[in-house]
Chain A
Amino acid sequence: MPIHEKSLIRPEKLIEHEELVIEGVDVSGHWSTFIEGRSVADYNENLQDEIAALPGGEYIHRCWQCGSCTNSCTVNAINADFNPRYWIYLIRTGMEEELLRDKDIIWQCVSCNKCTYACPRDVVPEGVMKATSHWLELKGHTPKSPSTIFDEAFSEQVISRGKIEDGLVLRNFFKRTGQPLNQPWLIAMVGGLIKRFPVFYLMKLGFATVFRPKTKGWNRARDAINEYAEEREAANRKALGLGSKGAK
């Protein structure tokens, strides 16, 4: 099989002999690096269709692998393993096992849309990252990422009340992810402020939330959105061949 991707050669596939002499010639160490043969038999032929069925993944088929997304990517600049072009390649060729090796970092896309700006084929790689993270969670390959937990805490508040209060979102998020609120940097941050403006600080982080913002006349919108959201969730699960949510 031709080597399409250098990064497909995993360290465990490299074979080196510490001492090897062939017909009197010493080829120890790097002189005798071999790559173990590899055949891919476990293609997931539906992978691209599954990602394309989820919101954001619609245009993945347009990719021509130019690499502009990875080249401009904010997260790639601090972690070279974060590689949207490569993941799009794996999805399009159905190499699910390879994709799963990076399953724990795909959610880290910060939605900066530098990739979308650079992409000459309107793939919207940012959307593909979101669809892929969503796919990983729906399929049970990863637990809900901190990002998803945050999105849910935030969205539940928007949908139920029409508005959010950032202190409450923060508290709910910390609670759901099991983090304490007394992080040193958080204390340092509000500590500086409390000296200057104690009442405002209390309102700001919502420790004394007396008043919760709500949009007037929101209830009908709330019900309409909830109904639609449930339909979409069921449709997404169906597209991935999963049963209804409760059945899992």
Chain B
Amino acid sequence: MAGDMKYKKVAYYPGCALEGSGHAYNRSTKAVGKELGLDLVEIKNWNCCGAMEVKNIDPKIQTYLSARNLSITEEMGFDTVMAPCNGCYHNLKKAEYDLGHDETSKEVNQRLSSKAGHKTYEAGKVETIHALDWIKKSIGEEGIRERVKNSLQGIKVANYYGCMYTRPRHIFPEKDQGADSESTSKPHYMDDILAAAGAENVDFPLKTACCGGAHTLSDSDTSTKLVLNILTAAEACGADVVATECPTCHTGLEMHQIRAEKVLGRKTNIKILYFTQLLGMALGLSAKKVGVHENFSDPRSLLKEKGLG
């Protein structure tokens, strides 16, 4: 399955977070793609997916937001869209599922699309993939091993996937379909990619725990407790780094790591890096190029010590 040409050139949906707080994820994803010879073509005039918020105003509006992005993807001639953000990825998947299974969602989408003046997206036209699928399926572990210039050897990683990448199960029909597919209970694509880049993955029980991202500002005390749990568990497992694959999780972990120290007096030293930052450095990109200076948890001295960056 490595070297799947299908994903060599895909539509790219960065989403709002990657233009703001997740800037380092955007630049490292693009840099990694370029280094691996994968083409990303950004969706024209895309809109916000609604994140975790618009659905609470009305879920059908949230479905429409993703349907519009899928409609543009299709109009641009693509049958695959890649989203690096778990929220964006989740919402595209959920829209795909709802438009294929729920009549009211279909009707509302039709109504809003025609009023907005664009083609109505119909389920089945575009496949949504995550940045992890993109790398795992187009390059694969073998391909990564061949291209590693600066092995991540000696770096112990706890891979953190969060909620939206695997739950609820029904919107991810391709998962849990045998050894090569992603697992919703014990996801492993990020583990596989980083292991191929030389990292040592620790056995981390909180891979799919919740960081409280939905209430990161509106119920900060809860989020701080949840994040502290994740970070202390990762440290207890012997990890130097928590690898992330979502800007909301990543920013949440970094923000509440600082908040836990300030508010609860609980300091953790673990560094938080996007998997694309780690992979990029393994492929020989500079620390600057993958934006590690933008990380709040400032991993630069750790990376130096490990011979990276």
Contacts and interface: CB of A to CB of B under 8 A. Distances in A.
Interface of A: 55-56, 74-75, 78, 108, 110-114, 116-117, 124, 130, 134, 145-152, 154-155, 158-159, 162-167, 170, 173-174, 177, 184-185, 188-189, 192-193, 196-197, 200, 204, 213, 215-218, 220-221, 223-225, 227-229, 232
B218 A147 contact: yes
Interface residues of B, number: 61
Contacts of B217: 146, 150, 170, 173-174
Nearest to A189: B258
A81 to B, nearest CB: 13
Given A155-B53, A188-B258, A229-B58, 9 more contacts: A111-B52, A112-B210, A158-B47, A164-B48, A164-B51, A193-B296, A200-B23, A220-B117, A225-B64
Contacts, number: 176
A152 B184 CA distance: 31
A220 B116 contact: yes
Nearest to A201: B294
Contacts of B259: 185, 189
Interface string B263-274: 100000000000
B218 A124 contact: no
A147 B219 contact: yes
Q: Which 3 A-B pairs have the closest CB atoms?
A: A112-B210, A224-B115, A146-B218
Contacts of A55: 55, 58-60
B54 A108 contact: no
A74 B209 contact: yes
B68 interface: yes
Contact of A224 (B111, B168, B222, B294): B111
18 contacts: A110-B223, A111-B163, A124-B168, A130-B56, A146-B215, A155-B54, A164-B51, A165-B16, A185-B258, A185-B259, A185-B262, A204-B23, A217-B45, A218-B47, A220-B117, A221-B47, A221-B68, A228-B58
Interface of B: 16-17, 19-21, 23, 45-48, 50-61, 64-65, 68, 108, 111-112, 115-117, 163, 166-169, 184, 209-210, 212-215, 217-219, 222-223, 225-226, 254-255, 258-259, 261-263, 293-294, 296, 298
Chain A binding surface, main DSSP class: helix
B116 to A, nearest CB: 4
B21 A204 contact: yes
Contacts of B163: 111-114
B219 to A, nearest CB: 6
A173 B219 CA distance: 12
Contact of B168 (A117, A146, A174, A215): A117
Contact of B215 (A110, A215, A229): A110
A110 B45 contact: no
A148 B54 CA distance: 10
A111 B216 CA distance: 12
A193 B297 CA distance: 10
B309 to A, nearest CB: 14
Contacts of B262: 184-185, 188
